[in-house]
Amino acid sequence: MNTKRLVITPATDTTDAVMESDTSLRLRAQRAYDGLSVAGPSGAYEYFARSASGLVRDARAISPSPACVTVSILSTEGDGTATEALLNTVRAVLNAEDTRPVADRLTVQSASIVTWRLNAKLYFYPGPESEPILAAAESSFRKWLAEQGLIGQDVALSAIAAALHVHGVQRVEIIEPTQNMAISDIQAARCESFTISEGGRNE
């Protein structure tokens, strides 16, 4: 299957086009065969929704009752809340005669954004200065965070600790959040701020 990279922002006379990320393209390509059928299976709805616009970061389809389908959309813009314009674009694609089964009653909505903050302290082994280790931990956390926040993706304390546990860190103390966050199939988590500080050294 030949899945083409979507355009998020078209090119202008002075700027290059902003294209779909590798991660997003890979996720759509993995679901390409779902697009060979009309959007009956949830995977097909999700494939068509993701392919409707480069502004769709993620889509999740659920069936709360027979013949009823709810598709939640996560945007690449802002905090992830899908605008009405983006939802209308997705609706137009999913409601096409060759896409949606006649019997399905379809609802397209924005994913509900659940915000969280990180406050963590890192404890170091004796030795080198802490600043480079803190910088490495922050960089590692940012990389981890960039892959998070999809619809239905939980926030796990163990995953946060693993991202922060770079070379030189003896242990990680997570002050906030205080527990794992369960994210439903119509929600997406967003880290709105983070503080990573030195907690001390274990001699």
pLDDT higher for 36 or 170? 170
Average pLDDT over residues 74-87: 97
- For residue 184, which phi and psi values (nearest 5 degrees)? -80, 180
Tokens of 52: 């409707």
Stated pTM of the model: 0.77
Residue 82 in this model has a pLDDT that exceeds 90: yes
Dihedral sign (CA 73, 75, 79, 83)? negative
Question: What would the pLDDT profile of 160-198 be if each residue is shown by its tens digit?
Answer: 999 999 999 999 999 999 999 999 999 999 999 999 999
> Which of 10-14, 110-114, 133-137, 197-201 comes out lowest in average pLDDT?
10-14
The count of other CB atoms within 10 Å of the CB of residue 14 is: 5
Model pLDDT for residues 57-79, shown as the tens digit of each residue: 999 999 888 888 999 999 999 99
